[in-house]
Amino acid sequence: MRIKKSTTLLLILLLSASLISGCAVPQEQAQVTTLPSSTGGQQSASIAKRFREPASRTAVESAMELSEKYAKLSDEAAVLRQENQDFTARNRQLKEQVAALETQLQQTQKELGEANDILIEMRIELNNWKTNVLGFRDEMRDAEKAQLEALLKILKVLGGEVNAESAQQKNTVSLAAPPSESKHGEPQPQQTPASGDSK
């Protein structure tokens, strides 16, 4: 701002010194001749009018007006320069944020990939567990069936009569429900009346 003021002040002093020393600025209007046959006659006349100054303006007034315009333009340039610096700083800050976010994104993608692999392994293990449980259930049914058949054979050896229909019914009932256990943890066979017992 000091440079602007000093430049403006110097310009005003030079112009006022030239006026005092006797150098007068001619105030006559310049004559512009145009060719009447040219098609751009009106354009050249309007261009010539733009550069004419009114007769009442002096060199000092013109210099003051130009210095004011220069001051305004200098202020606008300073504002634009400041905005440019702000935008540059903001751009730098955003670039740093983007770099940090990219590293976080890569880390998150890596963690998601590992979590996905773990979930796939857990699903495979769960499916294996299900097949094992189903297989053990079938084995338990086969063991209970063999146990019931052994109990029926024991009953026959002891002299009890077993109807084939009742044995099959007991078989199906025992498969649906676990056999009742005695105090010692052994299943209690259901005894049928012996053949020697009378009604």
- Interval 90-114: pLDDT, tens: 999 999 999 999 999 999 999 999 9
Asked whether the beta carbons of 15 and 66 are under 8 A apart, the reply is: no
Instruction: Return the domain boundaries, the chain.
Output: 136-176
pTM above 0.85, yes or no: no
3-state helix, strand, coil in the chain (%, to 5): 70, 0, 25
- At 132-163, the pLDDT tens digits run 888 788 888 889 999 999 988 888 888 777 66
In terms of C-beta density within 10 A (0-12 exposed, 13-18 middle, 19 or more buried), how is residue 159 classed? exposed
71, 4 contact by CB (below 8 A): yes
Using only the alpha carbons of the chain, give its radius of gyration: 56
